[in-house]
Each structure stands twice: as structure tokens, then as C-alpha cells.
Amino acid sequence: AGSLMTTKHSQPQSTFAKSLASTSTNTPYLKAAESTEIPAYVTKCPSNGLCSRLPPDCMICNTNYSCIYGKPATFDCKVKPHVHCVDQNNLEQENFTINMTCQFCWQLATTDYVCTNSTNCMTVSCPRQRYNATCTVRDHIHCLGNRVFPKMLYCNWTGGYKWSTALALSITLGGFGADRFYLGQWREGLGKLFSFGGLGIWTLIDVLLIGVGYVGPADGSLYI
């Protein structure tokens, strides 16, 4: 997609053009049917705010097929029915332009979208596990393509266990299995308790393993 967007398109029905046609940021102008019912998207649209600051759900924009990937681009937009906004001079307007970077939504920085989290995958594992997440672009961000997209992310949830607490218990009370009990590893904790920390050898090994983060909570979550 990056190589395709670096060249201006002369045919509106190109492959790249088709891939952008279904998005909220670059849908062609459509004449909305008259209706007395207020659409649900109106709740997301500030009344009498700047048109250029409206969320993408509040506007309909034409795709700029000549935009160059990674470069600033200008899009011609129109507010949706029942949406009221103003320009810099506080005058109400319907047609306006917005400036954005020519890139797909899935290529945005991680701070520009929110993803679902998973508590079923192991965060402390080798190799580190990933999970299928569904990500949604934040309301004030404009981009090309679908605003909701799938993405493979590393497991990053936490059950509230502190690394510093686990390490302190391993150093002070590791011979009694306190560190393993704290992490929810009851079998290993009982094994250390009745073997006096494996005569000290198991205790030293656990201090090293917890110190480097190799041994973590039994639920597979991350330390905090």
C-alpha cells in the first residue's frame, strides 16, 4: 500500500481507490434522506464547535486519491445531517477541509487507538505470547481505511502482583516458599517449605529467576 500511495492515480477505480472507499474518513458525498429521528452519532458531535475539530463520525469526506503516503494531505469534508459547527470566524458552515497524514488507520501510533485486552494468555512465557485484539481509532484521529481493525499484540495484562514484593519475599523468606505462595504457585511453595528451600539451592535459584523476571505470577500476568 505504501508504494501505491507514492504515485498519483489517474483512474478513480484503481485497487487503492477501492480499498479506501468504505471508510468513514473518505466516503463520497451522499445525500441523506430526510428524517425527523436524530441519529445516534449526533451525541458524539459537539454543537457549534469548530468543524475541523469534529470527530470523523460527524462528517463525510471525499477521498484524496492523489495523497502521498506519509505526507500531509487535505480532504474536502461535509458535516452529516443534524450536525452544527462553525469556522474560525464563528460562522456556521457545512463544507470545510481537514488536514491529516496520508496513512492507514492500522499504521497509526499505538497512542492513537484503543485495543481490547486479553486475560487468557500468558505474559510471562518464552517465546512471549501474542493475542488477537480488536482496535478502535480514537475519536479525534483521522486516518485512511477502517477505523476498527484487528491486530496481534503481546500479552500485557496484570493481576496486581508486584515484582519488588516477590523479590523481597524470595530473598528474606524464600526458604519457606513465601515467594512462590505470593505468586500463586502453591505446589512449588509447599515443595520449598518442606525441603527448606531445597537446602538453600532452590532459594538462590528463585532469587535469580524472580530477579530477571523469568518466574512470574501463576495466572500468567505481568508484574506491576
For residue range 16-30, list pLDDT tens digits in order. Answer: 444 444 444 444 444
pTM over 0.75: no
pLDDT over 90 at 204, yes or no: yes
Residue 24: its pLDDT value, please? 46
Look at residue 210 and tell me whether its pLDDT is greater than 60. yes
pLDDT recorded at residue 221: 75
Cβ-defined contacts of 82-86 (< 8 Å, 24+): 82/38, 82/39, 82/42, 83/42, 83/45, 83/54, 83/58, 83/59, 84/47, 84/48, 85/45, 85/46, 85/48, 85/49, 85/50, 85/51, 85/54, 85/58, 86/48, 86/49, 86/50, 86/51
The pLDDT tens digits of the residues spanning 158-189 come to 777 888 999 999 999 989 999 999 998 989 88
pLDDT at 2 over 90: no
Give the mean pLDDT of the chain. Answer: 79
The answer on pLDDT for 70 being more than 50 is: yes
